[in-house]
Structure 1
Amino acid sequence: MNQTLGVAVVKKASVKDVRRRNRALILRHVWLNGPTSRSEVGAATGLSAATVTNVMNELIAEGAVREGGFLDSDGGRRRAIVTVAHDAALVIGADVGETQIGVKVFDLAFQPLAAREYPIKGRRIEVAEARAAIGAQVVSMLAELGASGDRVLGLGLGVPGIVQELPDGRQLVHAEVVGWHAADFSGFGDELGIPAYIDNGAKSTTQAEAWYGAARGVEHGVMVLVGEGAGAGIITDGQLYRGFSSSAGEWGHTKISLDGPHCRCGRTGCVETFVGASAVLDHWRGPDETWLGRETEGVEAILRAWRAGDEAAGRAIDGVVRHLGLALSNLVNLYNPQKIIVGGWFGDRIAAELLPDLQSAVRSFSLDQPGGEVVLVRSQLGPDAAVLGAATLPISHFIEYGAGAERLT
């Protein structure tokens, strides 16, 4: 329902819309809850047995779903097992990170089959170089697997910025942290001969966490990623919140100081200038080039010094906990999440070592009621979360629209 000047306009769903919705409901349940049965699918989706049977038969004929064997029975009628045909096709996830582009090939059960990495020097990369690198990695991995592009359901690309969808179908990426200003990714899939889907990396990672990780079943939550920079994905009513033009979640560039450090985005006082890995290392040792390109080593070094009682390391660690707690409290007061999932390569180390302290900091800065309700947890997906998140993009599109069904074996 759309509302304009107080007048409700209701668009009646067509038969095609209803069929697509039913297909998506059933396929999503099988994908995320399989192995299952037709009766369980009906109970979970609220669809009639006849509808489940019709759609399931179509999915089996399509090659997306497979039926065989039986679930354990308590004495009643045995229920046939329904599951995703994991070997029916391949999906590829690619993530443009802070120091490298990671690319992996998965089967439809998200089991990794091949992986490649491409280093990014100086945290800047030209769009043409990124496109060429991903293309070369895809060709290399498919050759390794003895597979053709026709077997690939799609490639998902996670990027560190805002993905703008234009009315003419073009996709522009605004990612100042890697030097992209309205970078045009139109025709990327055509170049590869594979359907390509692009989204902000924090959003795609949040989707993966909601499907398979700590955000599973969460109706209202926030996934935060902390590395060199910081980003967030917001879940509301069980759905990823995008905002008016899909830029919601640029939490790392919200401000927690009027005269704070200069940020890569060209402004000052951004969250990432206080909680990003390099910012914390600079607070410990002072701004120098010691850890440039070796930030993960630097983080382990400061944690060792902190455990050994080093006072400077203690001040830096205390600072990141307080500033991250303050930044997260703003999300708590704005969105009232039931859960905040902390991830990203640096965020994961913070959560592993300091989650109780971070939880206390969030509550101390938040309003009492939402602050007392929210629970902080560590991401369950680990270092592969971003690439896995990217790989969910073609799967999500296939579930919703059936796009790429002709590529199933």
Structure 2
Amino acid sequence: MVRARATVRDLRRQNRSVLLTALFLDGPLSRLQLSASTGLSAATASTITGELLDEGLLTEAGSVESDGGRPRVLLRVNPVFGHVVGVDVGETGIKVELFDLAMTRLSTVDLPVAAVRPGPVSELVAAGVAQVLSASGVPASSVLGVGVGVPGTVERGTSAVVHAQTIGWDAVPLERMIREAGVEPPLFVENGAKTQGQAEMWFGAGRGARHAVIVLVGSGVGVAVVTGGVMHRGATSNAGEWGHTTIVYGGRRCRCGVRGCLEAYAGAEAMLGRYREAARDGSSAPDQVSALEELLTSRSAAARRVVEESVGYLGAGIANLVNLFNPERVVLGGWAGLALGARQLDRIVAATAEHALRHPYAQVRIELGRTGPDAVAVGAATLPVAALLETGADPRSARRAG
């Protein structure tokens, strides 16, 4: 196979990407620190940072003393160069958040969802984007992109298509529908477990790890697998459907139609369903979050049994991930995962140890996510940032050129 030779333009783009990534994730840094951390020559670092300063992508952020010379100027990604929006499309609600490029949250809105149907979801996403921009006075022209985290898998082509069997979505052209609903900035659609995974890898409990598994437990169950610092997607981006691996042969019917899936035992919807069956009593809680809190704090024998079983199933499921992927870190997140883990992490770890092989288990650390219950939205907001860092160019420019 003949490989295409890299051009000067390719090299320049790669160098811009390397410098921007270092400054975004580790800045502020001086030019000398940038040269040392990226391996680029001092002359190259100086030339490219000069270009980026002229374009407004970078800004000065004070100075630090040097050894015997003039103070060194610190540089950082300019927080007001543009803004990004993150959207979490959940099964009971949609969260929309606006950030500057320092990932400072400027505005947020939560919109309840009566039924997760593509049409209403698209309209709510568009309404939420309009609301966060209006609340903060940010014009749509300032938005580098809108990232959307969704249940199910995302098929990429000219426009993102979503397959989410558990909620009845089959080849839904969600990106086109959101665009038609009135969202103008570039759109980036991704599986919600993967956006949470990116948030934890960039800012949370996964930071610094090269091999990690980030678990999402919400209404359902999912996972993001990072190997060698790269998100594992599989042949058609379906990798990570951990919730639909079989944990009990011939067991409970899962929402996907198959029996015995992990999601039929460890997801919040399944936990609450099993509790209703065991207690033969409906919860008075107004929503799933409140109902799970009620379950976790209940002293009834039925509640304790459901929680204990759920901890065991979740630990066994995590042990499967440890045996399969040999991660150095497992991060438990998702609104239900955080609620359960805050009370039961030691028992989840013990259940994992009971079911995992000793050697890979000895290499892993299991901890709670640090980016909070809105990690899917935070991670979704990083999608346009990732495009900026990867190309070294403004995503809005590509859209205008197209």
Find the partner of 1:379 among 369, 374, 387.
369
Q: Distance in 2 between matches of 1:226 and 1:245?
A: 23
In the alignment, structure 1 residue 216 sits paired with structure 2 residue 207: yes
1:239 is matched with 230
Q: Give the C-alpha shift of residue 297 in structure 1.
A: 2.1
1:106 is matched with 99
Q: Give the C-alpha shift of residue 9 in structure 1.
A: 5.0
Instruction: State the one-letter code of the partner of 1:213.
Output: G
Q: Distance in 1 between matches of 2:282 and 2:302?
A: 18
Instruction: State the one-letter code of the partner of 2:19.
Output: I
CA contact (8 A) 1:189 1:195 kept: no
Q: Distance in 1 between matches of 2:187 and 2:8?
A: 28
In the alignment, structure 1 residue 366 sits paired with structure 2 residue 356: yes
In the alignment, structure 1 residue 252 sits paired with structure 2 residue 248: no
Q: Distance in 1 between matches of 2:33 and 2:191?
A: 34
Query: For residues 119-150 of structure 1, what are the alpha-carbon distances to aligned partners after superposition, in whole Å with 9 as ceiling and x for unaligned?
Result: 111xx322221111111222222222223211
1:174 is matched with 163
CA contact (8 A) 2:319 2:356 kept: yes
In the alignment, structure 1 residue 390 sits paired with structure 2 residue 343: no
Q: Distance in 1 between matches of 2:387 and 2:179?
A: 14
CA contact (8 A) 1:203 1:233 kept: yes
Range with bigger deviation, 240-249 or 133-142? 133-142
CA contact (8 A) 2:271 2:306 kept: yes
CA contact (8 A) 1:398 1:405 kept: no
Q: Distance in 1 between matches of 2:69 and 2:360?
A: 46
Change in 2 beyond 3 A, CA 1:291/1:157: farther
Map 1:225-374 → 2, pairs under 5 A = 225-286=216-277, 289-290=282-283, 294-306=287-299, 310-374=300-364
Change in 2 beyond 3 A, CA 1:99/1:74: farther
In the alignment, structure 1 residue 87 sits paired with structure 2 residue 76: no
Identity %: 39
2:18 is matched with 25
* Number of residues of Structure 1 aligned to a counterpart in Structure 2: 393
Range with bigger deviation, 264-273 or 220-229? 264-273
Instruction: State the one-letter code of the partner of 2:146.
Output: L
Instruction: State the one-letter code of the partner of 2:76.
Output: T
- Secondary structure of 1:242's counterpart equals coil
In the alignment, structure 1 residue 37 sits paired with structure 2 residue 30: yes
Instruction: State the one-letter code of the partner of 1:209.
Output: E
- Secondary structure of 2:206's counterpart equals coil
Instruction: State the one-letter code of the partner of 1:333.
Output: N
Query: For residues 196-232 of structure 1, what are the alpha-carbon distances to aligned partners after superposition, in whole Å with 9 as ceiling and x for unaligned?
Result: 1111111111111111101001100000010110110
- Secondary structure of 1:382's counterpart equals coil
CA contact (8 A) 1:256 1:269 kept: yes
Instruction: State the one-letter code of the partner of 1:31.
Output: F
Instruction: State the one-letter code of the partner of 1:312.
Output: A
Change in 2 beyond 3 A, CA 1:143/1:14: same
Q: Distance in 2 between matches of 1:359 and 1:84?
A: 39
Map 1:108-187 → 2, pairs under 5 A = 108-121=101-114, 124-166=115-157, 169-187=158-176
2:47 is matched with 54
Instruction: State the one-letter code of the partner of 1:224.
Output: V
Uncovered stretches (5+) of structure 1, i.e. residues with no partner: 1-7
Q: Distance in 2 between matches of 1:201 and 1:172?
A: 14
Query: For residues 165-223 of structure 1, what are the alpha-carbon distances to aligned partners after superposition, in whole Å with 9 as ceiling and x for unaligned?
Result: 13xx1321001233211001344447422111111111111111111101001100000
Instruction: State the one-letter code of the partner of 1:221.
Output: A
CA contact (8 A) 2:28 2:61 kept: no
Q: Distance in 2 between matches of 1:146 and 1:195?
A: 19
Q: Distance in 1 between matches of 2:241 and 2:169?
A: 16
- Secondary structure of 2:19's counterpart equals helix
How does the TM-score come out when normalised to structure 2? 0.92
Instruction: State the one-letter code of the partner of 2:365.
Output: V
- Secondary structure of 1:222's counterpart equals strand
Q: Distance in 1 between matches of 2:4 and 2:135?
A: 49
Q: Distance in 1 between matches of 2:169 and 2:269?
A: 21
Q: Distance in 1 between matches of 2:179 and 2:49?
A: 30
How does the TM-score come out when normalised to structure 1? 0.91
